[in-house]
Chain A
Amino acid sequence: DAKTTQPNSMESNEEEPVHLPCNHSTISGTDYIHWYRQLPSQGPEYVIHGLTSNVNNRMASLAIAEDRKSSTLILHRATLRDAAVYYCILRDGSNDYKLSFGAGTTVTVRA
């Protein structure tokens, strides 16, 4: 399984942007980059995913490096509800459909 590396934790102030880095130097051509988050006492929640181009949705933006060896999840204005564990996951788009979660980044948002 391709691996990702994320910082253990990050802190942010409310209303400020949060940039969550993820390194995936062994990414293969068929790997999609997925981000999920898990709020306390809940199941993981899909945030965003992409292959090569930057992606935006109502929750966040995903910036993917040109060589695809790293990516950054951007929360544009953090709220207290964004406090969660954020997981960066590589998922093979060909025939290996499982999500391989690492330890993730614990995001704390200060009021």
Chain B
Amino acid sequence: DAGVTQSPTHLIKTRGQQVTLRCSPKSGHDTVSWYQQALGQGPQFIFQYYEEEERQRGNFPDRFSGHQFPNYSSELNVNALLLGDSALYLCASSSHPGGLEYFGPGTRLLVL
């Protein structure tokens, strides 16, 4: 049984560019959440998707957007990248909103 998978594992971008990160939830899960983890800090909630809609959002600007597909996989898009967007981006899935969240290994994004 595959757990949560994320791609790519690492990514380097320059300021002003756009990036798309991908997540496949654990088998049987239909809810996906995204978190940002800066170096030395705990993860911060970005948003949660369920039934292909954004259900809850954290304190992140509109440059951060997402999408959920009919197969429950999800994408995180970040536009107009800033140096401060350099972080580990974590995807978590659950069997329903409010269910236990299981995390993927993350995508390490470096913005130069």
Q: Which residues from chain A sit less than 8 Å from chain B, CB to CB? A: 42-46, 49, 85, 87, 93, 95-104
What's the least CB distance linking B81 to chain A, in Å?
22
Assess whether B98 is interfacial by the CB under 8 Å rule.
yes
Kindly state the interface size class of chain B when it binds its partner: 20 to 34
What's the least CB distance linking A53 to chain B, in Å?
18
With contacts A43-B92, A43-B106, A97-B98 known, what are 12 further pairs, Cβ within 8 A? A43-B4, A49-B100, A85-B42, A93-B98, A97-B33, A98-B45, A98-B56, A99-B43, A99-B101, A101-B43, A103-B42, A104-B42
CB atoms of A43 and B104 under 8 A apart: yes
Complex Cα distance, B4 from A102, in Å, reads 23
What's the least CB distance linking B92 to chain A, in Å?
8
Which residues does chain A contribute within 8 Å of B43, judged by CB atoms?
A: 44, 99, 101
CB atoms of B33 and A98 under 8 A apart: yes
CB atoms of A103 and B41 under 8 A apart: yes
Chain A-chain B contacts (Cβ-Cβ < 8 Å), number? 49
Which residues does chain A contribute within 8 Å of B48, judged by CB atoms?
A: 97-98
Which residues does chain A contribute within 8 Å of B102, judged by CB atoms?
A: 46
Q: Which residue of A lies closest to B91 (CB)?
A: A43
What's the least CB distance linking B58 to chain A, in Å?
6
Which residues does chain B contribute within 8 Å of A100, judged by CB atoms?
A: 45
Q: Flag B33-60 by CB within 8 Å of A: 1 or 0 each.
A: 1010000011111001000000110100
What's the least CB distance linking B102 to chain A, in Å?
7
Q: Which residue of B lies closest to A91 (CB)?
A: B98
CB atoms of B44 and A101 under 8 A apart: yes
Q: Which residue of A lies closest to B44 (CB)?
A: A101
Which residues does chain B contribute within 8 Å of A87, judged by CB atoms?
A: 42
Which residues does chain B contribute within 8 Å of A98, judged by CB atoms?
A: 33, 45, 48, 56, 58
CB atoms of B100 and A99 under 8 A apart: no
Complex Cα distance, B45 from A87, in Å, reads 14
Q: Which residue of A lies closest to B98 (CB)?
A: A97
CB atoms of A96 and B56 under 8 A apart: yes
A-B pairs with the 5 shortest C-beta distances? A101-B42, A43-B103, A98-B45, A97-B98, A44-B103
